[in-house]
């Protein structure tokens, strides 16, 4: 649980206390892990910040910046060693969070994981709510705890273009809100609910939150998709390029509302068709970095497909033997940007592995480019969502009794 900050306003304390109650539907807060491996975190606000420590919950006001670096199982805060965690919040406004995280990039001889070299990349975010920092291995876990609606505002412009039709933006807002609550429900006891990257939903704080995004979030405030009176796994991806996918083929989850539906609406997507040429050495190196001991690859052959046509099994023959992967596992190992979807064929294999494919993303649930087209055709966000998530209901969060996982 988060330590309370006694010098904060009563209103802020109420919000933080509500967030600690993971079962309460009315606790409209979400905890977002910005990173789990920060090497340095600096937090500032023009009006100063308030911070408290797990071992000493009495809040202290800092006029300048707070810098946190990892110690050995502890934090070093402005040069002083502290055990446990620290909670930081702007006294009167949002805070700026600057995070230095390690970035691993290929060095000479990138085919050898032992010869990778590391440097750092800086993330600069403006966020509302509180920032909790905890020691995590050799780095820092940085968690932004904030109001659910403000979180959704920070997701929508990074998962869908703010220039799209308002009904598409509303559909994205409901999906993002529902997904976050589903994860919160399913990860009770963890120090955060969702990750801020593509592992869950891309969140970048207040950056790019414009009037169109705010209007879409406000118009759908408190609305979520439910099945059996609980939030659903509201998955979404860019471009289906054909029928959407059954979740069981991607995540081994047999969910009645994540069954494939026809999607002839996304032909205008720039990702509807694609061709990828990956250098064979890079292809092999990616598999090795993923932990697969492959030799020189001779063939890459898809051998099983889903009803929607996506590759569910790939056989790779190499000088050390045979490797069999799921299609999504191959994408994860080689890189989602290198293989945009599992809807592909192998055109050729020589010095390069050449793939020809369609679509972008896992293909489960909402097709974003399909939602765009349907919105432009006059369909409401509710109709769009119930088409892509059959058997679900739009429901107000406050109407739910609890956020317990469905039995």
What are the tens digits of pLDDT across the range 155-169?
A: 999 999 999 999 999
So what's the pLDDT on residue 47?
87
Residue 83 pLDDT grade (very low, low, confident, very high; cuts 50, 70, 90): confident
Q: pLDDT at residue 116 above 50?
A: no
Residue 4 pLDDT grade (very low, low, confident, very high; cuts 50, 70, 90): very low
pTM above 0.85, yes or no: yes
Percent of the chain with pLDDT over 70: 86
CA triplet 17, 22, 26: central angle to 5 degrees?
A: 70
Residue 23 pLDDT grade (very low, low, confident, very high; cuts 50, 70, 90): very low
Of 20-24, 25-29, 47-51, 139-143, the poorest mean pLDDT is in 20-24
pLDDT in tens, 319-341: 999 999 999 999 999 999 999 99
* Beta strand pairing call for 236-237 and 366-367: parallel
The whole-number average pLDDT for the span 73-80 is 91
Higher pLDDT, 103 or 283: 283
Higher pLDDT, 187 or 116: 187
How much is the mean pLDDT over the chain?
Answer: 88
371-376: long-range contacts, CB 8 A cutoff, minimum separation 24:
371/168, 371/171, 371/172, 372/164, 372/165, 372/168, 372/266, 373/265, 373/266, 373/268, 374/167, 374/168, 374/265, 375/164, 375/165, 375/166, 375/167, 375/168, 375/171, 376/165
CA distances from 280 to 150, 303, 313, 332, 338 (A): 44, 20, 20, 17, 12
The whole-number average pLDDT for the span 277-292 is 96
Higher pLDDT, 109 or 144: 144
Residue 383 pLDDT grade (very low, low, confident, very high; cuts 50, 70, 90): very high
The whole-number average pLDDT for the span 373-398 is 97
CA distances from 109 to 103, 106, 116 (A): 17, 8, 8
* 142 vs 78: CA distance, rounded Å: 16
Our measurement of the distance from residue 303's CA atom to the centroid of its chain's CA atoms, rounded to an integer in Å, reads: 30
So what's the pLDDT on residue 18?
39
Q: pLDDT at residue 256 above 70?
A: yes
* 126 vs 124: CA distance, rounded Å: 7
Backbone φ and ψ for 266, nearest 5 degrees, come out as -115, 25
Cα-Cα end-to-end distance for the chain: 26
So what's the pLDDT on residue 73?
86
Q: What is the 3-state secondary structure (H, E, C) of 110-141?
A: CCCHHHCEEEEEEEEEEECCEEEEEEECCEEE
Q: pLDDT at residue 71 above 60?
A: yes
* Beta strand pairing call for 75-77 and 66-70: antiparallel
Residue 5 pLDDT grade (very low, low, confident, very high; cuts 50, 70, 90): very low
* 230 vs 400: CA distance, rounded Å: 8
* 83 vs 54: CA distance, rounded Å: 8
Q: pLDDT at residue 271 above 70?
A: yes
So what's the pLDDT on residue 9?
34
Q: Is the dihedral of CA 187, 189, 193, 197 positive or negative?
A: negative
């Amino acid at each position: 649980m988060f330590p309370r900050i006694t010098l904060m306003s009563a209103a802020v304390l109420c919000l933080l206390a509500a967030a600690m109650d993971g079962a309460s539907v009315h606790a409209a807060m979400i905890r977002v892990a910005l990173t789990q491996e920060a090497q340095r975190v600096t937090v500032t606000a023009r009006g100063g910040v308030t911070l408290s420590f797990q071992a000493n919950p009495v809040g202290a006001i800092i006029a300048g910046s707070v810098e946190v670096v990892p110690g050995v199982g502890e934090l070093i805060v402005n040069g002083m060693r502290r055990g446990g965690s620290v909670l930081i919040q702007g006294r009167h406004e949002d805070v700026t969070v600057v995070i230095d995280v390690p970035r691993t990039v290929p060095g000479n001889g990138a085919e050898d994981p032992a010869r990778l070299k590391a440097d750092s990349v800086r993330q600069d975010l403006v966020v509302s709510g509180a920032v909790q920092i905890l020691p995590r291995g050799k780095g820092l876990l940085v968690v932004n705890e904030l109001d659910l609606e403000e979180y959704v505002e920070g997701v929508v412009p990074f998962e869908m273009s703010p220039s799209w039709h308002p009904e598409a933006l509303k559909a994205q807002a409901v999906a993002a809100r529902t997904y976050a609550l589903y994860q919160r429900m399913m990860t009770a006891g963890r120090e955060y609910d969702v990750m801020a990257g593509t592992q869950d939903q891309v969140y970048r704080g207040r950056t790019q939150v414009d009037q169109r995004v705010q209007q879409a979030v406000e118009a759908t405030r408190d609305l979520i998709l439910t099945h059996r009176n609980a939030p659903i796994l509201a998955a979404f991806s860019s471009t289906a390029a054909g029928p959407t996918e059954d979740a069981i083929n991607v995540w081994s989850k047999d969910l009645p509302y994540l069954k494939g539906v026809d999607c002839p609406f996304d032909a205008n997507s720039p990702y509807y068709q694609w061709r990828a040429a990956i250098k064979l050495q890079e292809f092999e190196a990616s598999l090795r970095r993923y932990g697969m001991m492959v030799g020189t690859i001779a063939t890459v052959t898809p051998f099983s497909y889903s009803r929607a046509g996506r590759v569910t099994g790939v056989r790779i023959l190499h000088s050390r033997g045979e490797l069999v992967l799921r299609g999504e596992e191959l994408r994860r190992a080689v890189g989602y940007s290198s293989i945009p979807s599992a809807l592909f064929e192998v055109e050729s294999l020589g010095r390069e592995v050449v793939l020809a494919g369609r679509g972008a993303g896992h293909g489960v649930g909402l097709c974003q480019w399909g939602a765009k087209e349907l919105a432009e055709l006059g369909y409401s966000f509710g109709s769009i969502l119930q088409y892509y998530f059959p058997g679900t209901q739009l429901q107000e969060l406050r109407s739910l009794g609890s956020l317990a996982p469905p039995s």
